[in-house]
């Protein structure tokens, strides 16, 4: 999902909530979020996805009249609520500036463009973004060296019918306005922050976010949740077609049943709050490692990024690759294992089709992901077609080789692309025969 499409989804998702947003659990959570931050008078703060200003004005109280707080939100109704509060307060919040704009396109906002801040906050919005790794790395460019960034992610059982709806949409290849499946634990958020070169100070488990703590839903009541989330919920447009809704009905039940234990589905009212610091490495500090490319599987449930450029671009014509791809070959490129980061996802599964390599795939859409040889533990081979078009830095890859041509599909002609040709594998001298 691109930035413009994500922004449109956010507006659709929140515009109808703008009038009642302050009458939910959000004000209480904003107080808890703010109390976890070390904010000093005179600091400059950027509050992303500020909504009605719940966190924005709490921060303004703490930076005082000598500080500055900039709030950015894409939804007109939400931002008008914040503007009304500022206007009603008179001069009290003169240090607050509010802008309508896309938080993934900050260079288009005059009050933010070219500036850096002591603190960046994002409350209850990371789940709306399709690629949290890329988003956090982008925002780090607006953070002063030594500055703090704070954001929250959800417990995997938080709003459980929502996570099942997301899984249902992913399996059917349909858009959904949030992206929560990567957040499996405190470590998931920690990894997102660290991937942007940030030093994580702490990840706090915030319980009772909405006030109900923990509850159990009867497994047999799955259809009530289906109706609430799909027939009457925010994704009604996505499932408007009766044929799609019928498919979603069955998939939703399957996913609901997967979470059930002893006839109950548990819901946990918990989020994780991560606080991280940008290293003091000079005034032009950047993340420790630059992202060279990004990508995802077909359903988008599994995303990845790499801080190293892929090499050894190879087309494998073996029978296994033909059967897995439904085509004549699969294209792989090698990447150092420690450079390739995957989003946490329960649909990333592994399979061994030989005694020399392990493959991974997405069980949600069936897309093959990687292959790793047992004799080179520090290298992983990524399926090149999954790399996001336009994301690869340094120009297009050049084909190095075609392997396993002895098993080549009879109907396919190998192009003259300059790649070396091998009847089997160029690793044959390193591996033992497959039994």
pLDDT in tens, 276-316: 999 986 434 444 467 899 999 999 999 999 988 888 899 99
The verdict on residue 339 lying in a domain is yes
Q: pLDDT class for 394, splitting at 50, 70, 90? A: confident
Whether the per-residue pLDDT at 234 is higher than 90: the answer is no
What confidence score (pLDDT) does residue 432 get? Answer: 37
Shared domain for 248 and 314, answered yes or no, is no
Total domains, the chain: 2
3-state secondary structure of 6: helix
Tell me what pLDDT residue 308 has.
86
> What CATH number does the domain containing 230 carry?
3.40.50.150
- Please, which residues have CB within 8 angstroms of residue 413's CB and are 6 or more apart in sequence? none
What is the model's pLDDT at position 369?
96
In whole angstroms, what is the distance from residue 243 CA to residue 245 CA?
Answer: 5
Is there a single domain that holds both residue 143 and residue 226?
Answer: yes
Residues 182 and 147 grouped into a single domain: yes
Residue 408 has what pLDDT? 95
Average of pLDDT values for 148-164? 93
Residue 429 lies in a domain: no
pLDDT tens digits, residue range 327-346? 999 999 999 888 899 987 78
**What is the pLDDT confidence band of residue 120, given thresholds at 50, 70 and 90?**
very high
Domain boundary among 277, 307, 338: 277
Q: Which residue did the predictor score with more confidence, 234 or 291?
A: 291
pLDDT tier at 400 (50, 70, 90 boundaries)? confident
Q: 415 Cβ partners below 8 Å, 6+ apart?
A: none
Structure tokens at 171: 């399996």
pLDDT value, residue 290: 79
- What's the pLDDT at 430? 39
In this structure, are 80 and 31 located in the same domain?
yes
The rounded percent of the chain whose pLDDT value lies above 90 is 61
The string of pLDDT tens digits covering residues 198-230 is 999 999 999 999 888 999 999 999 999 888 876
Position 11 scores a pLDDT of 60
Instruction: Tell me: pLDDT of 364 over 70.
Output: yes
DSSP 217-264: EEGGGHHHHHIIIIISSTTTTTT-SHHHHHHHHHHHHHHHHHHEETTE
**In this structure, are 211 and 100 located in the same domain?**
yes
* Shared-domain flag, residues 244 and 158: yes
Does residue 402 belong to any structural domain of this protein? yes
Q: What is the pLDDT of residue 231?
A: 58
Does 370 lie in the same domain as 265?
Answer: no
For residues 41 and 67, the answer to whether their CB atoms sit within 8 Å is yes
> Of 277, 311, 339, at which residue does a domain stop?
277
pLDDT at 200: 93
* Assigned domain for 435 exists: no
Using the 3D structure, point to which of 223, 253, 277 is the last residue of a domain: 277
CA distance 192 to 153: 10
pLDDT of residue 187: 87
Say what the pLDDT of residue 390 is: 87
CB-CB neighbours of 399 under 10 Å: 18
- In this predicted model, what pLDDT tens digit does every residue of 10-63 receive, in sequence order? 565 667 677 888 999 999 999 999 999 999 999 999 999 999 999 999 999 999
Evaluate whether residue 432 is within a structural domain.
Answer: no
Bridging pattern class, strands 357-362 and 270-277: unpaired
9 SS3 class: helix
Residue 173 CA to residue 103 CA, distance in Å, equals 26
Pairing relation of β-strands 199-207 and 214-218?
unpaired
Domain of residue 101: give its range: 3-277
Residues 271 and 300 in one domain: no
Task: Please report whether residue 271 resides in a domain.
Answer: yes
**Structural domain includes residue 39:** yes
Radius of gyration from C-alpha coordinates of the chain: 24
Residue 434 lies in a domain: no
Q: Please classify residue 126 by burial: count the beta carbons closer than 10 Å to its beta carbon, then call 0-12 exposed, 13-18 middle and 19+ buried.
A: buried
How many helices (H) and strands (E) are present in the chain, helices listed first?
10, 21
d(C-alpha 405, C-alpha 424), whole Å: 6
Task: Report CA-CA distances (Å) from 50 to 21, 72, 73.
Answer: 12, 6, 5
Query: What's residue 386's pLDDT?
Result: 96
Q: Do 364 and 407 sit in the same domain of this protein? A: yes
Burial class (CB in 10 A: 0-12, 13-18, 19+), 304: buried
Angstrom distance (rounded) from CA 21 to CA 29: 12
The residue among 291, 335, 339 whose CA lies nearest residue 314 is 335
Helical segments of 16-115, H only: 26-35, 54-63, 76-88
- Rounded mean pLDDT, 111-135: 92
Asked if 101 and 161 sit in the same domain, the reply is: yes
Query: How would residue 1 be classed by pLDDT, with cut points 50, 70 and 90?
Result: very low
The whole-number average pLDDT for the span 2-12 is: 54
191 and 269 inside one domain = yes
pLDDT, mean over the chain: 87
Does the structure show a pLDDT above 60 at 116?
yes
Give 167 or 97, the one with higher predicted confidence.
97
Mean local confidence (pLDDT), 111-126: 95
Query: What is the CATH number for 359?
Result: 3.90.1590.10
**Same-domain check for residues 351 and 203:** no
Q: Say what the pLDDT of residue 47 is.
A: 98
35, burial (CB in 10 Å: exposed 0-12, middle 13-18, buried 19+): exposed
CA–CA separation, 147 vs 140, rounded Å?
9
């Amino acid at each position: 999902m691109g930035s413009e499409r994500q922004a449109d989804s956010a507006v659709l998702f929140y515009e109808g909530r703008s009038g009642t947003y302050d009458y939910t659990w959000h004000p209480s959570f904003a107080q808890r979020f703010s109390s976890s931050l070390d904010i000093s008078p005179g600091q400059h703060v950027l509050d992303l996805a500020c909504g009605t200003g719940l966190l924005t004005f709490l921060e303004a109280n703490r930076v005082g009249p000598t500080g500055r707080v900039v709030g950015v939100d894409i939804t007109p109704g939400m931002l008008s609520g914040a503007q009304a509060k500022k206007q009603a307060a008179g001069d009290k919040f003169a240090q607050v500036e509010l802008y309508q704009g896309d938080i993934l396109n900050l260079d288009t906002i005059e009050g933010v463009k070219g500036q850096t801040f002591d603190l960046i906050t994002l409350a209850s919005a990371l789940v709306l973004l399709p690629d949290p790794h890329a988003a956090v790395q982008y925002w780090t460019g607006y953070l002063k060296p030594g500055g703090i960034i704070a954001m929250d992610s959800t417990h995997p059982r938080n709003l459980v019918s929502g996570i099942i709806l997301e899984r249902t949409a992913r399996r059917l290849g349909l858009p959904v306005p949030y992206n929560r499946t990567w957040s499996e634990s405190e470590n998931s958020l920690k990894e997102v922050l660290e991937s942007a070169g940030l030093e994580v100070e702490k990840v706090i488990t915030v319980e009772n976010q909405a006030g109900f703590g923990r509850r159990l839903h009867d497994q047999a009541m799955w259809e009530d949740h289906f109706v609430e989330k799909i027939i009457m919920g925010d994704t009604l447009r996505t499932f408007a077609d009766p044929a799609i809704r019928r498919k979603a009905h069955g998939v939703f039940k399957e996913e609901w049943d997967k979470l059930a234990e002893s006839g109950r589905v548990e819901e946990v009212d918990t989020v994780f709050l991560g606080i991280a610091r940008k290293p003091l490495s000079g005034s032009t500090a950047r993340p420790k490692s630059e992202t060279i490319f990004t990508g995802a599987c077909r359903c988008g449930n599994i995303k990845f990024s790499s801080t190293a450029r892929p090499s050894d671009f190879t087309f494998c014509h073996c029978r296994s690759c033909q059967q897995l791809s439904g085509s004549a070959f699969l294209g792989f490129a090698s990447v150092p294992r420690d450079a390739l980061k995957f989003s946490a996802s329960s649909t990333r599964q592994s399979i061994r089709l030989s005694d020399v390599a392990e493959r991974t795939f997405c069980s949600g859409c069936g897309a093959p992901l990687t292959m790793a040889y047992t004799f080179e533990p520090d290298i992983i081979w990524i399926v090149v077609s999954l790399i996001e078009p336009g994301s690869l830095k340094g120009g297009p890859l050049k084909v190095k080789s075609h392997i396993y041509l002895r098993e080549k599909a009879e109907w396919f002609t190998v192009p003259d692309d300059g790649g070396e040709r091998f009847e089997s594998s160029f690793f044959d001298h390193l591996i033992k025969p497959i039994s």
